[in-house]
Chains A and B, each alone.
Chain A
Amino acid sequence: MTDHVRLEGRDKVTGAARYADDPRPPGAVHACPVPATVARGEVLAVHPGEADPRVLAVLTHLDAPRLADAGDPTLAVLQSARVAHRGQVVALVVAETLQAAQHAAAGVRVEYAEEPHDVTLVADHPGVYAPEEANGGHPADRVRGDFEAGYAAAELRIDATYRIGPLHNHPMEPHASTAAWQGGRLTVHDSSQGGHGVRKTLATLFGLPEDQVLVVNEHVGGGFGSKGTPRPNVVLAAMAARVVGRPVRLALPRAQLPALVGHRSPTVQRVRLGAGRDGRIEALAHEILTRTSTLKEFVEQAAVPARVMYRSAVSRTTHRVVRQDVPTPSWMRAPGEAPGMFALESAMDELASACGLDPVELRLRNEPGAEPDSGRPFSSRGLPACLREGARRFGWAGRDPRPGVRREGRLLVGTGVAASTYPVLIAPSSAEVRAEPGGGYLVRVNAADIGTGARTVLALVAAEVLAVPVERVRIEVGRTDLPYGSVAGGSSGTSSWGWAVHEAATRLRERLAGGAPLPARGLSVRADTRELVGRGTEFARHAFGAQFAEVQVDTDSGEVRRRRLLGVFAAGRILNDRTARSQLVGGMVMGASMALLEESTMDPGFGDHAERDLGSYHVAVSADVPDVQAYWVEEEDAHVSPLGSKGIGEIGIVGTAAAVANAVHHATGVRVRELPVVSRRLGELPA
C-alpha cells in the first residue's frame, strides 16, 4: 500500500503553485470577451463604447486575424458574422487593465439581425436524427436480437423515462490563458487538461509549425472534461496578443463558462426491461434523446453502459440527437456513463421492486459471462465483489424493502444501491527518465495534473520500477517541450502516461544494471508507447463499483439530505491510496451533487443557461456531504497495462445519482425520474 501526499500540496496551500492566469509577463494587457445577446442571427455592426486611451483594440469578425480550420467550429472565434448561440463571443476588448477591459466590453453595442431560435428539447422535434456515432466513437445504435418480441414475451416489464437537464463542469479555476508572441513563436499558459492538444490546435489555427508553440499548464484548477479540448479563451488570447503586440491575459468570467466551455447535454432516456419473475433480464432497451449545437455534433453516449452491464437475451441501445441554437455540449466527468447509469440503475431498482428481489441480488443474478454487446470476455469484472463488499460495509443485510415505512419524527429514512462502471481507456504517450549524477532521477512527461495527483503517482511509478525511494525522483509535467503526453481525460492519464514512464524507467534500469559508470551528464531513456498501446486487446476492459446511499427526507418540506454514501470500486491496481481516495470521493460528491442539487434551465425566451453562477447553480457544499467513504477491492488485471491500473477519475460519479434517488424512493415511496431530486419533485409527503 502506498499512501503518499501530493508532491505539489505545499505549493498549492501556500499559493506558490502557478495557474494559467498567474504569470505576469512584462507589458501584459487584458482581454475581455463580449458575448452575443441573441440566440441566433447575424452581427450587423459592432460599436465600441466611449473612447478610452487604455483600450488598445476592439476586435470583431471584420478585423480579427483570420484563422485556419482546426476542425473545431467552436474555436473559429470572430471569423464570421453568424451567431450560433447566445453567449458566443462577438467581440473582444483588449485594454491596459482588467477593469478597463471589462468596462469597455460592457460598453460595446452590437447590432444584430435576430432570427427566431430553437432551444427547447422535445421528443417530437422534427429535427431529431440518428447520428453515425456517439461520443467516444461508439456506434449510435446497437441491436442484438428482436428486442420487441423479447420484451413482449417477458413476465415483468419496466418501461420508464428518465430526464436529466444540462449540467455544468464549473471547475474552481475558470478557463484562463496568458499568451505571448516572441517573433513567430507563441507561448501560452493555458488552463488545459491536454497541452499537446492545445499546441496542435493553435499551430493549425495560426499556421505555425508545432515546435513554435509552447503550451504550459503546470497547475490546473480542475476541469472535469471542460478543459479537455482547447477553448475559445486560448485562441482569443493568442489572437489579441498578436494584434496588440503585447502579452495578453484572459480569464473567462464564471458567468461565461456555461456558453463557452461545454456542458453535459440534457438527456431524455427511455429504459425498458423485460424480465422473468426471478429477475433475470430477457430484454433490455435503453434509448437516448439528446441535443447538440448547430456548430458541432456532440452526442452524449448515455446508452453505452447498457451494452456493458447486464445479461439479456436481446437488447437495443440507441442515440438520437437534435441540433439546436444552444451552446455546444462536450465532455463532463464520465460522459455517457454518468447520465446513462442514472437511468439504467434507477430502472434496475424499479425492476427489483417489481419482482420482489433485493436490488443487490437482482444485479448479481444478471451478471453476464461476457460483455453482453460484444461477446468479448472481460479482462476482469469486479462488480459482484463490489456489491458484496459494499453491502457488508454499509450494513445492507436485513434491509426492509418496503418503501416509506422508516420514520424518525418528521423524517423518512431510506437506503439505495446502484452500480458504477467506466471503461479502461489508454492513449499513446512518451516519457523520459533520466539518471542524474548524484543519485537522483528525473521523470519528464507532459502529463496534466488537474488536481488528480498525477505527478505524484507518476513519480511513484518511476520510483517503484527503479527501486529507489520516491524522494530521489523529481518530475516535470505540464509543458509541451516535455515528451508527448495524452489528454487528462477518460480516466486514462495514469495508465497512459504511467505506461510510458514505466517503460522508460524499466529500460533505464536495464541500462544501469550493466554496472557501467554513469556518464557525467547522466543517462536518459525515452519511451513511446504508441506501438504497445496500438496492439489493442481482445478483452472488454472496464472498472466497476457499487454505491450505497442513505437519505433522510423531511416530510414537512421534502428536503432531502444525504446521510451516508459508501462506494466500493474494482479498478485494477490502486497506485496511491491517498490521491485515489480523493479522486473517488470527489467523484461521489459530484454524483451526489448531480443527484440532489445541480439544476440548469435553458431559458426558452433568451436561449441561455439561466443559472450561470455558483449562487444559482447549486453544487454540493460541505454540509451536503457529511459522510462519504470510498473503498476498493484488490483486483489483479494483467490485460490492461504493466501498471495494472484501470483509471479512477470518473467512476466515482457513475451510479451515485441512482443510488441516491433509489434511497429517496425507499424512504418515501416516491420515484423521481428527473434530476435533480429537489423537494418540489417529491410532492406532498404524509405528515
Chain B
Amino acid sequence: MREFGYLRPSSAAEAVELLAADPGARYLAGGTNLVDLMKLGVERPRLLVDLGRVPLRDVGPTDDGGLRIGALARNADLAADPRVRAAYPVLSQALLAGASGQLRNVATTAGNLLQRTRCLYFQDTAKPCNKRRPGTGCPAREGVHRDLAVLGASEHCVATHPSDLAVALAALDATVELLGPDGARTLPVTDLHRLPGDRPDLEHRLLPGELITAVTLPPPAPGARSAYRKARDRASYAFALASVAAVLVVREGRVERVGIAFGGLAAKPWRARTAEAMLRGAPADEASFRAAAEAELAGARPLRDNGHKVPLARNLAVRVLSGLAAGSVR
C-alpha cells in the first residue's frame, strides 16, 4: 500500500471541498472495499477524506411519506430499522443477504452502492483489465468468468456489480441525493451506475468530487408487497450467483404496479423494464411472471461458463413474484 494523506472533515460541504481540490483524493466511509483495494494496489489514493465525522447517518421520514436514508447509515442499522422492515422488506432482506455481520456493522449505504466489482482480473494488478487500466484488454472473457455478467456486458468488460442493496433500491425507485462542488442534485438510483460499453473504467455518473449524501425512497404504494431473493452456493458471506428484488401491487388478480431488478447479472442492478411493461395489467400468475422474466432475459449473452445464471434468474423472479402475488412474503 502506498502512503496517503488522511483528513477527517466534519461536514459534507467541507468534504466536497477537499475532494474538489485533489483529483487523487477518495472518500472513505466504511472502508470495507476501498481499504482492501488499496492493499491490493488497485486503488492508490493520494488522500483519504474520512467521512466518519460527517453527520449523514440518520434515517428519517420524508414529507411525502417516504424514507430518507443518510449516506453513512450502516447496513446493519438500516436492515434492522423498523420503518424499513415494515414498509420496504425487500430492502431489509437485501441488506441481510449481503456480506457478513461484521462487514454490515461498518459498511455504509453509499459505500455499498459504490463498491467495485469482485472480478478476479480487476483485483489483480499483475493482469490486464480494461476497467482498471483502459485499453489493456479483458482476460475474463476467455478466463474465469463463472460469476460475471450475462446482461449489458461488452467486449471490453464483463464485470458484475456485487451489491445486494443496490438491487433492492433499483426495484424501489429510489433516488440518490448528491452534493458536489457545483451544488446539490438528485439522480434516480437506476441511473447511478453505467454499463461498460467501451469505457468500463467509468462506472457511475457522479461528477468529480460529488458525494452521495442520502438515498430517498418514495412512499410505499398502497397494497405493495416486496421481497428479495439471492442465490449463492455458500449459505452466507458470498456474492449473488443471481438475485432478484421485486415490488408488486396486485388488484383484482391483475398486476397494477411492479418493480423488478436483478442482481449478479450485469455491471449495474438490472431494472427489468421489459418484464415490468409486459406485466402491467396482466394476470398476476405464474405464467405471466415466467413469460415476463423470459422476455427480460432474452437479451442475455452468456459466456462459456456462466450460462447457468439465466435460468437461475428466471426461476428466482418467477418464485418471488408468485410468492408476492400469493401473499406470502418469500
- Distance, CA A606 to CA B238, complexed state (A): 25
The residue that A679 contacts in the complex, of B126, B139, B308, with Cβ under 8 A, is B308
Give chain B residues whose Cβ lies under 8 Å from the Cβ of A687: 315
Question: In the complex, what residue of chain B is closest to A253 when comparing beta carbons?
Answer: B39
Interface residue B241 (Cβ < 8 Å from any Cβ of A): yes
Interface centre among A556, A603, A611 (most CB of B within 10 A): A556
Question: In the complex, what residue of chain A is closest to B147 when comparing beta carbons?
Answer: A616
Pair B144/A603 contact, Cβ less than 8 Å? yes
Per-position contact with A for B207-237: 1 when CB-CB < 8 Å, else 0? 0000000000000000000000001111111
List CB contacts (< 8 Å) of B293-313 with chain A: 308, 311-312
Question: In the complex, what residue of chain A is closest to B320 when comparing beta carbons?
Answer: A556
Per-position contact with B for A193-237: 1 when CB-CB < 8 Å, else 0? 000000000000000000000000000000000000000000000
Pair A621/B120 contact, Cβ less than 8 Å? no
- Distance, CA A620 to CA B144, complexed state (A): 21
Interface residue A516 (Cβ < 8 Å from any Cβ of B): no
Pair A559/B41 contact, Cβ less than 8 Å? no
Interface residue B3 (Cβ < 8 Å from any Cβ of A): yes
Pair A616/B143 contact, Cβ less than 8 Å? no
Pair B234/A616 contact, Cβ less than 8 Å? no
Pair A610/B235 contact, Cβ less than 8 Å? no
Interface residue B252 (Cβ < 8 Å from any Cβ of A): no
Pair B233/A616 contact, Cβ less than 8 Å? no
Pair A103/B233 contact, Cβ less than 8 Å? no
Give chain B residues whose Cβ lies under 8 Å from the Cβ of A604: 143
Per-position contact with B for A396-417: 1 when CB-CB < 8 Å, else 0? 0000000000000010000000
Chain A: minimal CB distance from B37 (Å): 12
Chain B: minimal CB distance from A458 (Å): 36
Question: In the complex, what residue of chain A is closest to B36 when comparing beta carbons?
Answer: A615
Give chain B residues whose Cβ lies under 8 Å from the Cβ of A684: 311
Chain B: minimal CB distance from A40 (Å): 15
Known: A606-B139, A610-B143. A557 touches B316 (CB 8 A): yes
Known: A103-B2, A604-B143, A610-B143. A558 touches B312 (CB 8 A): yes
Known: A557-B316, A684-B311. A678 touches B3 (CB 8 A): no
- Distance, CA A601 to CA B145, complexed state (A): 10
Interface residue A102 (Cβ < 8 Å from any Cβ of B): yes
The residue that A102 contacts in the complex, of B1, B125, B312, with Cβ under 8 A, is B1
Interface centre among A103, A106, A604 (most CB of B within 10 A): A106
Interface residue A561 (Cβ < 8 Å from any Cβ of B): yes
Give chain B residues whose Cβ lies under 8 Å from the Cβ of A596: 233
Interface residue B254 (Cβ < 8 Å from any Cβ of A): no
List CB contacts (< 8 Å) of A403-437 with chain B: 410
Pair A559/B120 contact, Cβ less than 8 Å? no
Give chain A residues whose Cβ lies under 8 Å from the Cβ of B1: 99, 102-103
- Distance, CA A410 to CA B118, complexed state (A): 31
Tell me the count of chain B residues lying within 8 A, CB to CB, of chain A: 30
Known: A102-B1, A606-B143. A678 touches B311 (CB 8 A): no
Per-position contact with A for B125-166: 1 when CB-CB < 8 Å, else 0? 111000000000001001110100000000000000000000
Pair B233/A560 contact, Cβ less than 8 Å? yes
Per-position contact with B for A580-603: 1 when CB-CB < 8 Å, else 0? 000000000000000011000101
Interface residue A605 (Cβ < 8 Å from any Cβ of B): yes
Known: A559-B233, A678-B233. A99 touches B144 (CB 8 A): no
Pair B120/A556 contact, Cβ less than 8 Å? no
Interface residue B8 (Cβ < 8 Å from any Cβ of A): no
- Distance, CA A558 to CA B241, complexed state (A): 11
The residue that A621 contacts in the complex, of B143, B144, B237, with Cβ under 8 A, is B237
Known: A557-B315, A557-B316. A615 touches B308 (CB 8 A): no
Interface residue A509 (Cβ < 8 Å from any Cβ of B): no
Pair B234/A557 contact, Cβ less than 8 Å? no
Pair A621/B308 contact, Cβ less than 8 Å? no
Chain A: minimal CB distance from B115 (Å): 12
Chain A: minimal CB distance from B139 (Å): 6
Pair B312/A621 contact, Cβ less than 8 Å? no
- Distance, CA A622 to CA B102, complexed state (A): 14
Give chain A residues whose Cβ lies under 8 Å from the Cβ of B236: 621-624
The residue that A623 contacts in the complex, of B118, B139, B235, B316, with Cβ under 8 A, is B235
Per-position contact with B for A101-120: 1 when CB-CB < 8 Å, else 0? 01100100000000000000
Chain A: minimal CB distance from B187 (Å): 29
Chain B: minimal CB distance from A222 (Å): 19
Known contacts A557-B316, A558-B231, A680-B146; 19 additional CB pairs below 8 A are A35-B126, A102-B1, A556-B319, A557-B315, A596-B233, A597-B234, A605-B143, A606-B143, A610-B143, A611-B120, A618-B233, A621-B100, A621-B237, A622-B236, A623-B234, A624-B235, A624-B236, A679-B308, A680-B308
9 contacts between A and B (CB under 8 A): A561-B235, A618-B233, A620-B234, A621-B234, A621-B237, A623-B234, A624-B234, A624-B235, A624-B236
Interface residues of B (CB under 8 A from A): 1-3, 41, 100, 118, 120, 125-127, 139, 142-144, 146, 231-238, 241, 308, 311-312, 315-316, 319
Going nearest first, the 8 A-B pairs with the smallest beta carbon separation are A680-B308, A623-B235, A623-B236, A557-B231, A556-B315, A610-B144, A37-B126, A678-B233
